[in-house]
Structure 1
């Protein structure tokens, strides 16, 4: 697949798409497992635990050792007054709401307060929506939406979705055939984030069919 830069003065002929990046594997803390007698990665079990002590509540996210299933309770909050907890959070904890738990599992900032070593994974599902398309388009504008922390870098995302090597992506970037006005020159090395926008120029008719399929998820 070849990509060539066209005249950048005319950016009206765009295929505009939105890619929502959904990470698949939550970060895994490495902890000293007493059963294994060695540091091991712990996986989020998808379950929470809520405990009442008078009018105070404790809540934990339950992790399991990947080798022996020994559990570790990661604190969500401790000794919190019932009145200080919003109804949605309380309901999510009581019902083990998977969406709420998943969001907590991807909270890398909170996890870093509990452990120094964390395994991250860049596996992600990419959900694609066409925002607009002109009859004859000459460039693809990719708008990223990342609702929760994702570890995949921009260069790997573009390479995997368009079937390119990372070196090819770097070459396109160096030639300004792939560019962005949101994150500067080092954007390719950064994690994907909401609000990032990339533009990929295309001129050869044979390329447009395969690029359209990749960009739109068809």
Structure 2
């Protein structure tokens, strides 16, 4: 029998990263934001596709390349269908592709805002002494792990630091300053609450 509560937190970033680009109309560098629309052009059997961005201060647009001069036979049907129908879910994934955006734009502004869905995967045998959090990241985020734990468990960052220093917080994958780095998909955080007087309150906040 286990004295560990296992929960899953599914994290969904809510604000797509914004490229900063030279705007011809504003005559200065401005943040551009995704319009949620794509453009698909055909030249014979070859296709070009872009995600359209708009300047945050005017209506100027920037076409972010998705692919160029790609033969139609080399494009999987799901991608082609998403482009032809401006599929919101597919477009959102492209918009949140921070690495691809950096290759196209250079300077990119990121945001830490998110939605969180909590699910209990396994209840513990009373009294519960450990909390294990399985993190499911739907899209890449700059949200730091310590900030997430502080907000959702009601723990001060100082207290989180003490738990870390005394070995009562462990993470998989581990690494130097892991708590102060952005959350990663499939990361696991385990907290030993055996000696914490408010462990029941912490466990309650961890679940839905």
Query: How would you bin the TM-score normalised by the shorter chain?
Result: over 0.9
Structure 2 counterpart of 1:156: 147
CA displacement, residues 59-117 of structure 1 (integer Å, 9 cap, x when unaligned): 00011111113111100001111111111111100110000000001111111111221
Shift of 1:177: 2.3
For residues 95 and 209 of structure 1, the distance between their equivalents in structure 2, rounded to whole angstroms, comes to: 48
CA distance in structure 1 between the partners assigned to 2:113 and 2:46 by the alignment: 38
Q: 1:38: which partner in 2?
A: 28
- Per the alignment, residue 106 of structure 2 pairs with 116
What secondary structure is seen at the aligned counterpart in 1 of 2:198?
A: helix
Q: 2: distance between equivalents of 1:100 and 1:196?
A: 24
Aligned counterpart in structure 2 of residue 187 of structure 1, from 151, 167, 178: 178
Identify which of 21, 44, 49 aligns with 1:59. Answer: 49
Segments of 4+ moved more than 3 angstroms: 203-206
SS at match of 2:62: strand
Using the TM superposition, give the Cα deviation of residue 204 of structure 1 relative to its aligned residue in structure 2, in angstroms. 6.3
2:193 aligned residue (202, 215, 218): 202
What 5-or-longer segments of structure 2 have no aligned partner?
A: none
Matched, 1:212 2:199: no
How far apart, in 2, do the equivalents of 1:163 and 1:134 lie?
21
The answer to whether 1:68 aligns with 2:58 is yes
Match for residue 92 of structure 1 among 82, 92, 104: 82
Does residue 133 (structure 1) correspond to residue 127 (structure 2)? The answer is no
Q: Tell me the equivalent position of 2:160.
A: 169
Distance in structure 1 (CA, Å) of the matches to 2:200 and 2:158: 23
Q: TM-score, normalised by structure 2?
A: 0.93
Residue 5 of structure 1 aligns with which residue? none
Question: What residue ranges of structure 1 are gaps of 5+ in the alignment?
Answer: 1-10
SS in 2 for 1:26: coil
1:113 aligned counterpart, secondary structure: helix
Contact kept? 1:183, 1:196, Cα under 8 Å: no
2:72 maps to 82
Structure 2 Cα separation of the partners of residues 170 and 205 of structure 1: 15
Aligned residues: 207
